[in-house]
Structure 1
């Protein structure tokens, strides 16, 4: 059984963490498979949005596999390079929606925080078990947690392994929506439909600018130029946007 499954549904790439017997813990094989999946998704002009899920009923991802921990060599870094832990950070250009349920722990928590949209089932539990387990290595998740959560909420997770349930995660802005587990697929579909209704090249250009701008001061970000934004006026979709506006109709995006 493959450690992940990658499938296409129209303009949507579906990535499934597929080690339910190990609570989808990430080992070297899964790390390499994720790296290949992200590269394929970003390189495919037909793909406009990616969706990440975890197989099985108990967990989205329980973190790195302690029995066979990922090294980051074959997969660029843990999470296939998406997290940047232990190797090169690979920022996915396409919008990423993550559907989480059950345990979302350690490296799995980190992987979820790499998404642009997080939809959580009401049974989702986010946690950093490192302090309680007495095991730590790299632990890049702490850097995202303390940036994406209120300081003291993040620190409680970091130093006391305090877990965070889905409603509180929504309260703190960590997730976009909390739904009953049986409604998770419907909610994810609604989010992907929202993204597919937008100009794909604009979504990608705006995402690049937003993330690149985080690395510099606000003043520098406002003054900077961003390649995908600069190129957009030369695309077919820009011309389609202008025509649709003049003709008072819905645009038909081509992604080119």
Structure 2
């Protein structure tokens, strides 16, 4: 498997899900089928960057992570804020990132171990205007050797760049939604049915569905659920 060829191929992928699937396939070859890619939550993130998070963590891991508030003491994003080179999760766990993880972080590691993500690799991403992001691989491993780290770094950075580019395109498409389309997608995101939305806006159910078809087309979504997920990721449901 040629990492350079794989990395170059990322540029030709047309959707976030395609990039994620390809990254999972490639990562699995080295024992890292799971991944998360996204910018770090900083107040000075460049305004032109659309927020995004592409991940394929096990559903139980995601559910528990947010329910238990793991983000408040997860050492991996903290390490990504200052690191300039890749580092294994085992090294971060041992304090090699320049700090000792909060003792509560052992709950995160225990959950990861139980779900088969016993090894991991953090790849920091940084750019102009203090842009910081991370690519994190996880899986049964084993922990990567230097050639594997170099390969995963190349592939991961190219995946990040393609995801960032696609997210910007989604942001541009989202901005192109009409005022009526925005009203409808917000209402749908609140759980309202087509009938409820039609009544609230004084239009017919058929018109609601017509607008939603336009929303799906503009966002490149395959169905209503995917359109709402993409709208949430673009920050359209919180206005």
Which TM-score applies when normalising by structure 2?
0.29
Larger relative contact order (CA 8 Å, sep ≥ 6): 2
Higher helix share: 2
Higher strand share: 1
Choose 1 or 2 for highest CA Rg.
Answer: 2
